[in-house]
Structure 1
Amino acid sequence: MNRFADPVYCVVRLIVGLAYACHGGQKLFGYPGGGHGMSGLAFIAGIIELVCGFLIAFGLFTRIAAFLASGEMAVAYFMFYVGTVPTLEAKFFPIMNGGELALVNCWIFFFIIFNGPGRWSIDALWRKDRSNTPPT
Protein backbone atom coordinates (compact mmCIF):
# COMPACT_ATOMS: atom_id res chain seq x y z
CA MET A 1 0.00 0.00 0.00
CA ASN A 2 2.88 2.42 0.76
CA ARG A 3 4.14 2.19 -2.83
CA PHE A 4 1.07 4.19 -3.88
CA ALA A 5 1.53 6.92 -1.26
CA ASP A 6 3.73 9.24 -3.36
CA PRO A 7 1.74 9.10 -6.61
CA VAL A 8 -1.60 9.42 -4.79
CA TYR A 9 -0.34 12.39 -2.77
CA CYS A 10 0.84 13.99 -6.03
CA VAL A 11 -2.60 13.51 -7.61
CA VAL A 12 -4.35 14.94 -4.53
CA ARG A 13 -2.00 17.93 -4.49
CA LEU A 14 -2.56 18.43 -8.23
CA ILE A 15 -6.36 18.24 -8.05
CA VAL A 16 -6.69 20.42 -4.95
CA GLY A 17 -4.19 22.97 -6.29
CA LEU A 18 -5.85 23.25 -9.70
CA ALA A 19 -9.33 23.50 -8.17
CA TYR A 20 -8.03 26.29 -5.92
CA ALA A 21 -6.44 28.05 -8.91
CA CYS A 22 -9.82 27.89 -10.70
CA HIS A 23 -11.35 29.91 -7.86
CA GLY A 24 -8.65 32.54 -8.36
CA GLY A 25 -9.16 32.57 -12.11
CA GLN A 26 -12.87 33.02 -11.61
CA LYS A 27 -12.33 36.01 -9.32
CA LEU A 28 -9.71 37.67 -11.54
CA PHE A 29 -10.75 36.83 -15.10
CA GLY A 30 -14.33 35.64 -14.87
CA TYR A 31 -13.33 32.20 -16.11
CA PRO A 32 -14.57 29.62 -15.41
CA GLY A 33 -18.03 30.80 -14.46
CA GLY A 34 -18.04 34.57 -14.01
CA GLY A 35 -17.03 36.99 -11.29
CA HIS A 36 -14.70 39.17 -13.41
CA GLY A 37 -13.81 42.65 -12.23
CA MET A 38 -13.62 42.14 -8.48
CA SER A 39 -11.64 44.57 -6.38
CA GLY A 40 -10.39 44.91 -2.83
CA LEU A 41 -10.19 41.72 -0.80
CA ALA A 42 -11.66 39.59 -3.58
CA PHE A 43 -8.91 40.75 -5.95
CA ILE A 44 -6.20 39.91 -3.39
CA ALA A 45 -7.86 36.56 -2.68
CA GLY A 46 -7.97 35.86 -6.41
CA ILE A 47 -4.25 36.46 -6.78
CA ILE A 48 -3.46 34.25 -3.77
CA GLU A 49 -5.75 31.49 -5.05
CA LEU A 50 -4.46 31.55 -8.62
CA VAL A 51 -0.75 31.73 -7.81
CA CYS A 52 -0.74 29.46 -4.76
CA GLY A 53 -3.05 26.98 -6.48
CA PHE A 54 -0.61 26.49 -9.36
CA LEU A 55 2.39 26.39 -7.02
CA ILE A 56 0.75 23.72 -4.86
CA ALA A 57 -0.46 21.73 -7.86
CA PHE A 58 3.00 21.43 -9.37
CA GLY A 59 4.92 21.29 -6.11
CA LEU A 60 6.91 24.51 -6.39
CA PHE A 61 7.55 26.47 -3.17
CA THR A 62 4.88 24.15 -1.81
CA ARG A 63 5.11 24.83 1.91
CA ILE A 64 5.07 28.62 1.49
CA ALA A 65 2.17 28.47 -0.97
CA ALA A 66 0.22 26.10 1.30
CA PHE A 67 0.83 28.40 4.27
CA LEU A 68 -0.58 31.39 2.38
CA ALA A 69 -3.51 29.36 1.02
CA SER A 70 -4.38 27.91 4.43
CA GLY A 71 -4.27 31.35 6.00
CA GLU A 72 -6.44 32.84 3.27
CA MET A 73 -9.02 30.08 3.72
CA ALA A 74 -9.05 30.59 7.50
CA VAL A 75 -9.63 34.32 7.03
CA ALA A 76 -12.35 33.65 4.45
CA TYR A 77 -14.06 31.16 6.75
CA PHE A 78 -14.17 33.46 9.77
CA MET A 79 -14.90 36.69 7.86
CA PHE A 80 -17.45 35.53 5.32
CA TYR A 81 -19.05 32.43 6.80
CA VAL A 82 -18.86 32.55 10.59
CA GLY A 83 -18.96 36.35 10.66
CA THR A 84 -22.11 36.73 8.58
CA VAL A 85 -24.57 34.35 10.23
CA PRO A 86 -26.83 35.49 13.07
CA THR A 87 -27.10 32.37 15.26
CA LEU A 88 -24.49 30.71 17.44
CA GLU A 89 -25.50 27.33 16.05
CA ALA A 90 -24.87 28.48 12.46
CA LYS A 91 -21.50 29.93 13.51
CA PHE A 92 -20.45 26.56 14.95
CA PHE A 93 -21.56 24.21 12.15
CA PRO A 94 -19.93 24.80 8.74
CA ILE A 95 -22.79 23.01 6.99
CA MET A 96 -25.16 25.67 8.33
CA ASN A 97 -23.05 28.70 7.42
CA GLY A 98 -21.93 27.46 3.98
CA GLY A 99 -18.23 27.49 4.80
CA GLU A 100 -17.44 23.79 4.54
CA LEU A 101 -15.34 24.18 1.36
CA ALA A 102 -13.25 26.96 2.92
CA LEU A 103 -12.80 24.89 6.08
CA VAL A 104 -11.79 21.72 4.22
CA ASN A 105 -9.39 23.64 1.96
CA CYS A 106 -7.85 25.32 5.00
CA TRP A 107 -7.10 21.98 6.64
CA ILE A 108 -5.88 20.31 3.42
CA PHE A 109 -3.43 23.15 2.88
CA PHE A 110 -2.43 22.99 6.55
CA PHE A 111 -1.64 19.29 6.06
CA ILE A 112 0.42 20.11 2.96
CA ILE A 113 2.49 22.61 4.98
CA PHE A 114 3.69 19.80 7.23
CA ASN A 115 3.75 16.98 4.66
CA GLY A 116 5.71 19.04 2.15
CA PRO A 117 5.78 18.75 -1.61
CA GLY A 118 6.33 15.01 -1.82
CA ARG A 119 8.66 13.11 -4.13
CA TRP A 120 6.71 13.89 -7.28
CA SER A 121 7.17 17.67 -7.33
CA ILE A 122 9.35 20.40 -8.78
CA ASP A 123 10.70 21.07 -5.28
CA ALA A 124 11.91 17.45 -5.08
CA LEU A 125 13.60 17.72 -8.49
CA TRP A 126 15.42 20.87 -7.38
CA ARG A 127 16.55 19.20 -4.15
CA LYS A 128 17.88 16.25 -6.14
CA ASP A 129 19.77 18.55 -8.55
CA ARG A 130 21.36 20.44 -5.65
CA SER A 131 22.39 17.24 -3.89
CA ASN A 132 24.11 15.90 -7.06
CA THR A 133 26.01 19.13 -7.75
CA PRO A 134 29.59 19.00 -6.46
CA PRO A 135 30.58 21.84 -4.13
CA THR A 136 32.50 24.67 -5.79
Structure 2
Amino acid sequence: MSEKLSAYQPQALALLRIVSGLLFVHSGLVLVFDIPASIYPPPPPETATTLLIAGVLELIGGALLLAGFLTRPTAFVMCGMMAVAYWGYHVPTSFFPANNMGTAAILFCFIFFYLMFSGPGAWAVDNRKGVQDEPAGP
Protein backbone atom coordinates (compact mmCIF):
# COMPACT_ATOMS: atom_id res chain seq x y z
CA MET A 1 0.00 0.00 0.00
CA SER A 2 2.80 2.40 0.93
CA GLU A 3 4.53 1.93 -2.43
CA LYS A 4 1.31 2.60 -4.34
CA LEU A 5 0.69 5.80 -2.39
CA SER A 6 4.31 6.91 -2.77
CA ALA A 7 3.92 6.77 -6.52
CA TYR A 8 1.52 9.73 -6.26
CA GLN A 9 3.73 11.85 -4.00
CA PRO A 10 4.54 14.49 -6.70
CA GLN A 11 0.84 14.96 -7.45
CA ALA A 12 -0.10 15.16 -3.75
CA LEU A 13 2.63 17.75 -3.20
CA ALA A 14 1.34 19.73 -6.18
CA LEU A 15 -2.18 19.70 -4.72
CA LEU A 16 -0.83 21.04 -1.41
CA ARG A 17 0.98 23.82 -3.29
CA ILE A 18 -2.00 24.64 -5.53
CA VAL A 19 -4.59 24.74 -2.75
CA SER A 20 -2.28 26.83 -0.55
CA GLY A 21 -1.72 29.21 -3.47
CA LEU A 22 -5.46 29.49 -4.13
CA LEU A 23 -6.17 30.23 -0.48
CA PHE A 24 -3.48 32.92 -0.48
CA VAL A 25 -4.85 34.52 -3.66
CA HIS A 26 -8.29 34.56 -2.08
CA SER A 27 -6.95 36.16 1.10
CA GLY A 28 -5.04 38.74 -0.94
CA LEU A 29 -8.18 39.61 -2.92
CA VAL A 30 -10.04 40.25 0.32
CA LEU A 31 -7.26 42.39 1.79
CA VAL A 32 -6.53 44.45 -1.33
CA PHE A 33 -9.88 44.68 -3.13
CA ASP A 34 -12.40 43.50 -0.50
CA ILE A 35 -13.53 40.81 -2.97
CA PRO A 36 -15.58 39.03 -1.79
CA ALA A 37 -16.68 41.56 0.77
CA SER A 38 -15.40 40.71 4.24
CA ILE A 39 -17.95 39.79 6.88
CA TYR A 40 -15.68 41.14 9.62
CA PRO A 41 -15.65 44.71 10.87
CA PRO A 42 -13.07 46.92 9.16
CA PRO A 43 -9.59 46.81 10.69
CA PRO A 44 -8.26 49.81 12.60
CA PRO A 45 -6.93 52.55 10.28
CA GLU A 46 -3.40 52.25 11.69
CA THR A 47 -3.12 48.73 10.20
CA ALA A 48 -4.19 49.74 6.68
CA THR A 49 -0.67 49.97 5.23
CA THR A 50 0.46 46.71 6.80
CA LEU A 51 -2.63 44.89 5.57
CA LEU A 52 -2.22 46.33 2.07
CA ILE A 53 1.38 45.10 1.91
CA ALA A 54 0.31 41.70 3.25
CA GLY A 55 -2.49 41.56 0.68
CA VAL A 56 -0.17 42.35 -2.23
CA LEU A 57 2.33 39.74 -1.01
CA GLU A 58 -0.48 37.19 -0.68
CA LEU A 59 -1.81 37.95 -4.17
CA ILE A 60 1.57 37.75 -5.87
CA GLY A 61 2.94 34.92 -3.73
CA GLY A 62 -0.26 32.94 -4.02
CA ALA A 63 -0.30 33.29 -7.81
CA LEU A 64 3.36 32.24 -8.06
CA LEU A 65 2.73 29.20 -5.87
CA LEU A 66 -0.42 28.34 -7.78
CA ALA A 67 1.57 28.25 -11.01
CA GLY A 68 4.55 26.58 -9.37
CA PHE A 69 6.84 29.36 -10.57
CA LEU A 70 9.81 30.30 -8.37
CA THR A 71 8.31 27.98 -5.79
CA ARG A 72 11.24 27.74 -3.37
CA PRO A 73 12.05 31.47 -3.07
CA THR A 74 8.35 32.35 -2.95
CA ALA A 75 7.75 29.77 -0.23
CA PHE A 76 10.71 31.22 1.71
CA VAL A 77 9.19 34.73 1.63
CA MET A 78 5.69 33.48 2.45
CA CYS A 79 7.00 31.34 5.32
CA GLY A 80 8.68 34.39 6.83
CA MET A 81 5.58 36.49 6.29
CA MET A 82 3.43 33.97 8.15
CA ALA A 83 5.94 33.78 11.02
CA VAL A 84 5.84 37.58 11.32
CA ALA A 85 2.05 37.51 11.13
CA TYR A 86 1.80 35.01 13.96
CA TRP A 87 4.42 36.46 16.31
CA GLY A 88 3.71 40.10 15.49
CA TYR A 89 -0.06 40.17 15.22
CA HIS A 90 -1.60 37.05 16.72
CA VAL A 91 0.59 36.41 19.79
CA PRO A 92 0.06 39.88 21.32
CA THR A 93 -3.62 38.96 21.61
CA SER A 94 -2.90 35.61 23.24
CA PHE A 95 -0.11 33.06 22.99
CA PHE A 96 -2.49 30.20 22.21
CA PRO A 97 -3.55 29.75 18.56
CA ALA A 98 -7.10 28.74 19.50
CA ASN A 99 -7.49 32.06 21.32
CA ASN A 100 -5.64 34.39 18.93
CA MET A 101 -7.03 33.11 15.58
CA GLY A 102 -3.47 32.26 14.49
CA THR A 103 -3.91 28.60 13.57
CA ALA A 104 -3.97 29.34 9.84
CA ALA A 105 -0.81 31.47 10.10
CA ILE A 106 1.06 28.61 11.80
CA LEU A 107 -0.16 26.04 9.27
CA PHE A 108 0.70 28.22 6.29
CA CYS A 109 4.13 28.96 7.80
CA PHE A 110 4.94 25.26 8.01
CA ILE A 111 3.40 24.40 4.63
CA PHE A 112 5.61 27.04 3.03
CA PHE A 113 8.58 25.84 5.07
CA TYR A 114 8.01 22.36 3.65
CA LEU A 115 7.66 23.69 0.08
CA MET A 116 11.02 25.47 0.44
CA PHE A 117 12.69 22.10 0.86
CA SER A 118 10.46 19.83 -1.23
CA GLY A 119 10.01 21.97 -4.31
CA PRO A 120 6.79 22.32 -6.28
CA GLY A 121 5.80 18.73 -7.01
CA ALA A 122 4.06 17.91 -10.30
CA TRP A 123 2.28 20.34 -12.62
CA ALA A 124 4.61 23.30 -12.02
CA VAL A 125 6.18 25.88 -14.31
CA ASP A 126 9.42 25.29 -12.38
CA ASN A 127 9.53 21.79 -13.85
CA ARG A 128 9.46 23.14 -17.41
CA LYS A 129 12.59 25.24 -17.08
CA GLY A 130 14.72 22.16 -17.69
CA VAL A 131 16.53 22.59 -14.41
CA GLN A 132 16.47 19.44 -12.32
CA ASP A 133 16.91 19.54 -8.57
CA GLU A 134 20.16 18.09 -7.38
CA PRO A 135 19.94 14.76 -5.59
CA ALA A 136 19.40 14.94 -1.85
CA GLY A 137 22.13 13.97 0.52
CA PRO A 138 25.56 15.14 1.57
More helix by share: 1
Alignment of 1:1-136 (within 5 A): 1-34=5-38, 39-85=48-94, 91=95, 93-127=96-130
Which residue of the partner structure matches residue 132 of structure 1?
Answer: none
User: CA shift at 1:80, angstroms?
Assistant: 1.2
User: Is there any run of 5+ residues in structure 2 with no aligned partner, and where?
Assistant: 132-138
Which residue of the partner structure matches residue 88 of structure 1?
Answer: none
Q: Write out the 4+ residue segments of structure 1 that deviate beyond 3 Å after TM superposition.
A: none
Partner Cα separation in structure 2 for residue 127 and residue 62 of structure 1: 15
Instruction: List per-residue Cα deviations over 1:39-69 (Å, max 9, x = no partner).
Output: 3110110011000011111100101111111
- RMSD value, Cα: 2.0
Contact 2:13 2:122 in 1 (8 A): no
Contact 2:80 2:109 in 1 (8 A): yes
Aligned residues: 122
Higher RCO, Cα 8 Å, sep 6+: 2
User: Is there any run of 5+ residues in structure 1 with no aligned partner, and where?
Assistant: 86-90, 129-136
